[in-house]
Amino acid sequence: MNKRKLVIIGNGMVGHRFSEKLVEFGGSDKFEITVLGEEPRRAYDRVHLSEYFSNRSAEDLYLCQPDWYRANGIRLLLSEPAVSLDSVRRIVTTSAGTELPFDELIFATGSAPFVPNLEGIDKKGIFVYRTIEDLENILTYGKGIRKAAVMGGGLLGLEAAKALLDLGKETHVVEFAERLMPRQLDESASSILRSRIEELGVRIHLETQTEKALGESKLEGLQFKDGSSLDVEMLVVSAGIRPRDELAKRSGIQTGERGGILIDDHLKTNVYGIYAIGEVALHKGFVYGLVAPGYEMAETLAYNLCSPINAPKSYTGSDLSTKLKLIGVDVASFGDGLGQSEHIPIVFKNPRSGVYKKLVISPDGKTLLGGILVGDVKSYGNLLSLYLNRIELPSEPETLIVGSVSAENLFGADNLPDDAKICSCNNVSKGDILKAIREKNCSDVQSLKECSKAGTGCGGCLPQVNSLLKTELKAQGKVISEHLCEHFKFSRQELFQVIKVKGLKSYADVLHSEGSGDGCEICKPAVASILASTWNEPILKHREIQDTNDKFLANIQKGGTYSVVPRIPGGEITPENLIRIGEVAKKYDLYCKITGGQRIDLLGAKLDDLPSIWEDLVKYGFESGHAYGKAMRTVKSCVGSTWCRYGVQDSTAFAIRIEERYRGIRAPHKMKSAVSGCIRECAEARGKDFGIIATEKGWNLYVGGNGGVNPKHAILLAEDLDEDTCIRYIDRFIMFYIRTADRLMRTSTWLEQLEGGIEYLKDVIINDRLGINSQLEGEMDRLVDTYVCEWKDVVENPEKRDKFKHFINSESSDPTVRFQEERGQKRPAERRTHRTEAVLK
């Protein structure tokens, strides 16, 4: 049987996916396949291109092994793009002069960055952001510069800005539109995103049109149309894309007025046997700029070319849902998030915490049409399933983003039909995932990703993929993997024990001994937490793997400033110390606020002022309140029997004892406590991770509560305890939680998922069911005995203190920090004043 000749022009992500699907559908037996690649390397992952800045390794980005093409009967020609096409003679010619006859030809040439025709755009120091070679050029040139800008505030522009920020450059984003990511986010969501990005040090310039690149032979600045200018030494252009359709145009293939090869629902062009897929294709007037639609096109075309001609699949368009982490900020959008069709919007907005959630539902309230999430995207995967599979919404759909109900609780992946789409990036259904588990023996998330491709795009579906994997393995009677991430083949609990037993004291030691690769944003902070919980060394010893707040021992706030919260055990403070805090606040012009945990929050501190503020507070006897850490925070109290006529025990004294014992202890998540002096419960002890309520006979101890979006009442663990016994039980409870909880798991969730629940916990804590109580108490005593105030540690260490500068080579403060007056104090200045709101329109 003579094979038909098939040529694929382009070896990017979509071209490679088409090759994979050809092989999967038996195309290697039907076609003689040749792939033309313009770049000098095989196909790689452009979606995660920014990771190249972190590890400098192209190997981590490649989509296949070097011998994959040969092993599957595919001829790959690298650095040999097509330069001419004769559609009549059916021959394509490459840059090397190779003539390739074809029966079928596929354009997968993708797109090129749009570079505006500005005066001086050809100067040294101006780059695009598209290939590994582009990144290598940016890295090389960037070694000698300090200030850089990105032209474009879309997805790729913000990715480029993150890369520049990671390189330690003063980074600016210049966007012509009135908001960031205008195609994905509405004005409110974009405003939240802007605030979060600016807090990290990136300067945003909206509604700004660049007119000229300044300088002689190299870039020295940008001039804008309004007459202003910006002093920068590097510019990365990310102002959009243009389809690579030049060869098609020259060959008589029909293209759109604004570019793109015209295709029908079967991916056919106007020339028989020639097709187009991906970002070069124009389908129903739309060029898709995401990889997921290209994957869907590739699969459809591969199926049609390899299957009987009388049963072709149709491509009817793609969903543009996506989940990203942009400069450390989680962002997701799906469906009609902008509300361009008739709809009812449901919005929750909290600028203070940087969270925005919007659901767009049908006028009858039954169907989810789209949504936008910024800051908190945990519900993205399940909301996407509701949207993609047109599942009827609950009677009060607002509970999906505000309140105690979640999409996961109502519509978990286990309850979806097998044809329900789980991964929109790769068009993977629930049935495809179950088939991979059952037929290909996938027993962990990594192997399941490799077999099914689910979760290899934006990653938003991974919680559902993991849930399906666990459920199916459990049904098969197999052991369920609880690996922390792909770099550690241990659960968080197992890794805790390994670190403790082996005495590992740094992330490098842990990774070398027990892990692989370079680590990720999941395992780095998790290991940092374990190290802190085990050895209780100053957190800045592991600064490079901490979350932002821990790195600076303060919570980063709006406008690029930080808040300082000194510890006030039990909420008790002398008049003298109140005055001293006031003096410090006045000296550094800080905004003052009494927190819900009976402490004083000093806001508006500049990064370089933090050590000086701490030094003054430490001098007066104050210490860090750990408001920034996944650690023990506050112990709230009422005045108790000392002052209250209803009080039956001295709640203030006991609260002080508890807070001074557990201060600064790191855990899988933050912990809060409270002590109430009587059953009237003025300290709200039952809304805490552990709470204590006085009785006539002693103290009742409650555990596993929390406030927040999903409040939980704590459950009674033991009653009528004396103080020492209560302390012992708390010691055991905290250490057992630290040992056994998963990463970022509150005590309430941990207790809910603990097999046997509160009765089992009572048996462990009170009856020593596991025989470990003496160990738990010893571990707690060691943490208590080794406590060090992290602020004082910085104040007394010049090397650590030197890290708290806005500029590496200058003593200057951040010049972009601005304030405005409100109610007699300062607050961050902003273009629009927002209110925290939950709106049902």
Enumerate the known binding-site residues: 638, 644, 678, 682
Sheet strands side by side (includes 4-9):
74-77, 31-36, 4-9, 104-107, 274-276
DSSP output for 170-208: EEEEE-SSSSSSTTT--HHHHHHHHHHHHHTT-EEE-S-
Residue in 690, 696, 691, 694 with CA at minimum distance from that of residue 680: 694
Task: Enumerate the known binding-site residues for siroheme.
Answer: 682
Rounded CA-CA distance 201/185 in Å is 21
Length of the chain: 841
DSSP state of 479: P
DSSP helix/strand/coil, 82: strand
Contact criterion met (CB below 8 Å) for 187 and 211: no
Distance, in Å, from the CA atom of 767 to the CA atom of 785, rounded to the nearest integer, reads 26
Residue 491 CA to residue 234 CA, distance in Å, equals 43
Residue pair 255/249 in contact by the 8 Å Cβ criterion: yes
**399 token code pair:** 């509970």
- Closest alpha carbon to 524 in 505, 544, 539: 544
Q: How far apart are CA 370 and CA 189, in angstroms?
A: 14
Under DSSP, the state recorded for 130 is S
Indicate the annotated binding residues for [4Fe-4S] cluster: 638, 644, 678, 682
SS3 84: strand
As given in the structure block, the two tokens for residue 95 are 């840059």
- 208's tokens: 């700004």
Burial label, 13 (beta-carbon count in 10 A; 0-12, 13-18, 19+): buried
Instruction: Give kind and range of the element (H or E) at residue 464.
Output: helix 462-475
What is the DSSP track for 763-779? HHHTT-TTS-HHHHHHH
* End-to-end Cα, the chain, rounded Å: 65
103: left (phi over 0), alpha (psi -120 to 50) or beta: alpha
Residue type at 167? L
Do residues 538 and 666 touch, judged by C-beta distance below 8 A? no
DSSP character for 714?
-
Please give the Cα distance from 693 to 649 (Å, whole number): 9
C-alpha span between 83 and 755 (Å, rounded): 65
What is the rounded distance in angstroms from the CA atom of residue 384 to the CA atom of residue 323? 10
Where does residue 820 rank: exposed (0-12), middle (13-18), buried (19+ CB within 10 A)? exposed
Which residues have a Cβ under 8 Å from the Cβ of 608 and sit 6 or more positions away? 804, 805, 806, 811, 813
Judged by phi (left if over 0) then psi (alpha if -120 to 50, else beta), residue 467 lies in alpha
Q: Find out whether 533 and 497 touch, Cβ atoms under 8 Å.
A: no
Element (H, E) at 138: helix 132-142
Give me the helix-helix angle, 723-740 and 757-765, nearest 10°: 120
